């Protein structure tokens, strides 16, 4: 693992959300290896190391992807589908973070293999707490899949 290794991929189009998320992560010292993409296409480029991210082949996959659902170009669920539908990336943990409580989205997300599904609370205190918990859990507590789980990066 080198320093460039990205631990957390944040897929979020809203700059406010990006700022608040980073704020929360930073507050809990979890914002070191974060990469932010602003739409679904960029997210897929990053995950599959293509386009602007084709150089990333040697780097391992992120420890977790925080995925908003409502995204320009390619929606969050499509991103999820692509990630979980591909043997090279399906082991990457994906956490959906969304504003809505759409049941349909939740059902579809789990059907597609999402690892966690979280509604962003209105209350900022709660939001910070969730971000903190998420960061600790996925980046510290959880054992990430071994590199063998990701044939693309070999």
Partner 1 sequence: MAVMMLATVLVLLLTAAAFTTYDLVTYRQSLVHSLSATAAILADHSTTALALRDEKDARATLTSLRADSRIVAGALYDGQGNLFVHYPKQAPASAFPSAPAKGGYRYEGGRVILFQPVTEGGMRLGTLYLKSDLHPLYVRLRFYGGIALLVLFGSILVALVISNGLQRQITRPILALAEVARAVSERGDYSIRARKLSQDETGLLTDAFNGMLARIEEQTETLRQNEEIRSFLAAIVESSDDAIVGEDLESKVVSWNAGAEQIFGYTAAEMLGQPITRLQSSDRPGEEALILEEVRRGGIRHFETLRVRKDGQPIDVSLTVSPIRNSHGDIIGSSSIARDITDRKQAERDVRENRARLSGVIGSAMDAIISVDAGQRITMFNAAAEKMFRCPAWEALGQPLDRFIPARFRAAHREHLAAFGRTGVTSRAMGHLQPLSGLRNDGEEFPIEASISHFEVGGELIYTVILRDITERKRAEEQIRQLNAELEQRVEERTAELTTANKELESFTYSVAHDLRAPLRHIDAFSKILEEDCADALPHEAAHYLQNIRKSAAKMSLLVDDLLNLARIGRQELRRQPTPLSGLVREVLTDLKEETVGRTLEWRIQPLPAIECDPGLMKQVFANLLSNAVKYTRPRPVAVIEVGYRRKNGDTAVFVRDNGVGFNMKYADKLFGVFQRFHRAEEFEGTGVGLATVDRIVRKHGGHIWAEAAVDRGATFYFTVAGLEQAPEPEQEEMAA
Q: What is the DSSP letter of 136?
A: I
Is residue 100 part of the contact set for partner 1 (CB under 8 A)? yes
| Binding range to partner 1, per CB under 8 A, among 89-97, 106-114, 121-129, 130-138 | 121-129
Provide the 10 A C-beta neighbour count for residue 79: 28
Q: How far apart (Å, rounded) are the C-alpha atoms in residues 100 and 102? A: 5
Q: Does 20 bind partner 1 (CB under 8 A)?
A: yes
Cα(119)–Cα(43) distance, rounded to whole angstroms?
20
- Closer residue to partner 1, CB minimum distance, 121 or 151: 121
Q: Is 108 in the site for partner 1 (CB under 8 A)?
A: no
Interior/surface letters 117-137, b for 16+ CB within 10 angstroms, e for the rest: bbebeeeeeebbebbbebbee
Half-sphere exposure of 121 (CA within 13 A, CB side): 9
Pick the stretch among 1-9, 57-65, 88-96, 122-130 that binds partner 1 (CB under 8 A): 122-130
Binds partner 1 (CB under 8 A): choice among 70, 73, 88, 132:
70
Q: Which of 33, 81, 91, 99 binds partner 1 (CB under 8 A)?
A: 99
Considering beta carbons, is residue 79 or 92 the nearer one to partner 1? Answer: 79
Residues that bind partner 1 (CB under 8 A): 14, 16-17, 20, 23, 69-70, 98-103, 120-125, 127
């Amino acid at each position: 693992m080198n320093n460039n290794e990205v631990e957390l991929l944040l897929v979020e189009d809203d700059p406010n959300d990006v700022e608040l998320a980073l704020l929360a992560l930073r507050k809990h010292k979890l914002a070191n290896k974060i990469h932010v993409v602003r739409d679904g296409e960029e997210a897929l480029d990053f995950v599959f190391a293509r386009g602007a991210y084709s150089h990333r082949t040697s780097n391992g996959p992120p420890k977790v992807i925080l995925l908003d659902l409502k995204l320009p170009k390619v929606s969050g669920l499509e991103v999820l589908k692509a990630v979980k539908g591909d043997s090279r990336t399906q082991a990457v943990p994906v956490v959906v973070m969304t504003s809505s409580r759409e049941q349909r989205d939740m059902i579809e997300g789990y059907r597609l293999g999402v690892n966690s599904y979280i509604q962003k609370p209105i209350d900022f205190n709660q939001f910070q707490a969730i971000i903190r918990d998420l960061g600790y859990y996925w980046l510290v507590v959880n054992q990430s899949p071994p590199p063998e789980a990701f044939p693309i990066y070999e």
